[in-house]
Amino acid sequence: MSELFLRAEKLDAADQLAPLRDRFHLDDVVYLDGNSLGALPAQVPDRVADVVRRQWGELRIRSWEESGWWTAPERIGDRIAPLVGAAAGQIVVGDSTSVNVFKALVAAVRMAGEDRTEILVDATTFPTDGYIAESAARMTGRTLRAVTPAEVPAALTGRTAAVLLNHVDYRTGRLHDLPSLTSAVHSAGALAVWDLCHSAGALPVGLDEHGVDLAVGCTYKYLNGGPGSPAYLYVRRSLQDRFDSPLPGWNSHAEPFGMRPGYAPAPGALRGRVGTPDILSMLALEAALEVWDGVPVDAVRAKSLALTDFFLECVAAYVPEGRVECLTPVAHEERGSQVALRCADAGDAMKRLIGRGVVGDFRAPDVLRFGFTPLYVGFADVERAARVLGEVLGGA
């Protein structure tokens, strides 16, 4: 046995989060793609069965009240809130990340005022965020400028209305400095909108602490809500009375069952609702979030960094020199919970890895991505993944 294999065993034995693995439905595959789709929490199948058979099948329409369907978006938002450093009453769950990006960005521009004529967007962002920012700029009559997060402070002017940024770069795993960038945006009199898809559930975010204005995120990655599970929208409490959604729906009306022709927004974060919630996915997500009971985010972050450090050490030991280039920053303060490796034959390599029971993903043209979900990934998984990667790239 190699020294790294033995070290992995010792690290797993000392890992206080290791018992959390039993909260998930897993097999003997090394699953390092939780940054795309989280593993299935063990309690979700029975909960969904109850929702379908009893709440829908027996109670039917009564479940909107008796089973709490109507209040699910804000109730589940309050469960997510501690994971992103927010007090209750500021997060509403529903719709997709894309829809919530649109709501948040347009609302931010409207709050900024007519004299603010420019939107800044992260030039390295996930493509959809860029598409939506372009559409929002056209719709609101603003110009759009794409800049890297590092360029944001110098790009801000008195004309900047809002800045849309990703907390973690989806390709490289680079963690951007949310506190300092938010502060810079505010110093220019603009609003900060953050996409938390690759950070929520993997590391502390501190939305309230750092004065973030609006934030959005998906729930199917590190929050393990299931494929297509609903996203969430955070609206800072001090902005809620000014939040003017570009998608006003009957669910966000002050009197949703009044069926009035004129729109009057509900108070608080409820303004972020639009139409009828997707109850099956919503309640599957609620059940999935129970795996977080008693789990401190700081401990998750500490294990995440330990896992990625160990993976990089194992890659250096097992992978032939020159076969991969690490795109993820080494510095902890600049690293999310994934490692991205540039590899000339990345697409073929990932297929071979998956065939040997190590699941990551491939991003064109040449990036291997490995996501580390501390709730269920262990150090033995990390050692095995790097060892198999070395064998695949070494021709074994």
Catalytic residue among 31, 170, 220, 379: 220
- Are 205 and 235 within 8 A, CB to CB? no
Catalytic residue among 126, 370, 372, 379: 126
Q: Find the helix packing angle between 97-112 and 127-140, rounded to 10°.
A: 40
Name the residue type at position 32.
L
Q: Which residue has the tokens 């022709």?
A: 261
126 an active-site residue? yes
Catalytic residue among 174, 221, 384, 387: 221
369 an active-site residue? yes
195 an active-site residue? yes
Query: What would the two tokens of residue 161 be?
Result: 């209305």
Q: How far apart are CA 71 and CA 149, in angstroms?
A: 37
Q: How far apart are CA 287 and CA 306, in angstroms?
A: 28
Catalytic residue among 129, 195, 213, 361: 195
Q: How far apart are CA 171 and CA 169, in angstroms?
A: 6
Run of H or E residues at 77: helix 72-80
Query: What would the two tokens of residue 21 be?
Result: 């693995």
- Are 129 and 100 within 8 A, CB to CB? no
Catalytic residue among 103, 273, 369, 384: 369
CA 86 to chain centroid = 15
Catalytic site positions: 126, 195, 220-221, 369
